[in-house]
Amino acid sequence: MLRSLFISLAIITFLTGCNQSELNQITKELDESNKKNQELIEEINEIKKQLNEIQIPEESYNKEISNVVSFVGSNQGMEKLEFDYMGYSTEGGNVEIKLHNSLPIYFSIHFFGEMGQTKNEYYIINFNSVYIKQTNISYSSPLNYDESAEEKIQYYFIVDDIVYETNEYYSEFNEIEKNENILNLIKHKDKISQELSSRLQK
């Protein structure tokens, strides 16, 4: 009888030991998994922190634009070109280009229509960025440019393939999507660049 009891106790102890061992292993694996998850969370948080720290260099943009706009306004040592730009508005259009050391630093495209006019001014900051001032004037009646005409001015800054909406003081830069107006601004910029290149090669 006692022998059977001892055997039963031995079996229970053995089984309990096995279950405890398995439980310890599971606990260990869970701890390791939680540790890896925590490390992953910390990595993600660090990436988020770095992304949040990335800011538009507004002060740099402001200075670059201001310098070019001031220089263009001075007209110092600049060569001017003008030509018609037809086929894009009912009353035609014209282009004015300012060159410095044979390189374009500014050009404007002026479109005329029956119910208004648009002037797009491009200030070439460097090879991959341009500041654009767009002025739209709406007439109250066909071909009637008087005090009743409404004027709206918009400002954009394009860097590589990114478009920012800014203001006349270049103090704020808000990234925006390329809408139809932006695509047209880029299209005409490229056309004028091609036309200018062709004219300078003659």
- Of the pLDDT bands very low, low, confident and very high (cuts 50, 70, 90), residue 48 is low
- Of the pLDDT bands very low, low, confident and very high (cuts 50, 70, 90), residue 49 is low
Beta bridge mates, 82: 96
Q: Which two tokens stand for residue 57?
A: 């260099």
C-alpha closest to that of 58 among 180, 165, 194: 165
pLDDT digits (tens, 9 = 90+) for 130-150: 999 999 999 989 988 888 899
Instruction: Return d(Cα 173, Cα 164) in angstroms, integer.
Output: 5
Instruction: Return d(Cα 159, Cα 164) in angstroms, integer.
Output: 8
List the beta strands (DSSP E) in 38-115: 78-84, 93-100, 103-113
> Which carries the bigger pLDDT value, residue 44 or residue 3?
44
pLDDT digits (tens, 9 = 90+) for 135-191: 999 998 998 888 889 999 999 999 988 999 999 999 999 999 999 999 999 999 999
- Of the pLDDT bands very low, low, confident and very high (cuts 50, 70, 90), residue 102 is confident
Asked if the model's pLDDT at residue 18 lies above 90, the reply is no
Contact 108, 123 (CB under 8 A): no
Q: Give 3's DSSP letter.
A: H
- What is the residue-averaged pLDDT of the chain? 84
* pLDDT at position 26: 64
Name all contacts of 128-133 with Cβ < 8 Å and 24+ positions apart: 128/159, 128/160, 129/64, 129/157, 129/158, 129/159, 129/160, 130/157, 130/158, 130/189, 131/65, 131/68, 131/69, 131/155, 131/156, 131/157, 131/166, 131/170, 132/156, 132/157, 132/158, 132/185, 133/168
Which residues have a Cβ under 8 Å from the Cβ of 152 and sit 6 or more positions away?
135, 136, 137, 138
Instruction: Give Rg (Cα) of the chain.
Output: 34
- Of the pLDDT bands very low, low, confident and very high (cuts 50, 70, 90), residue 46 is confident
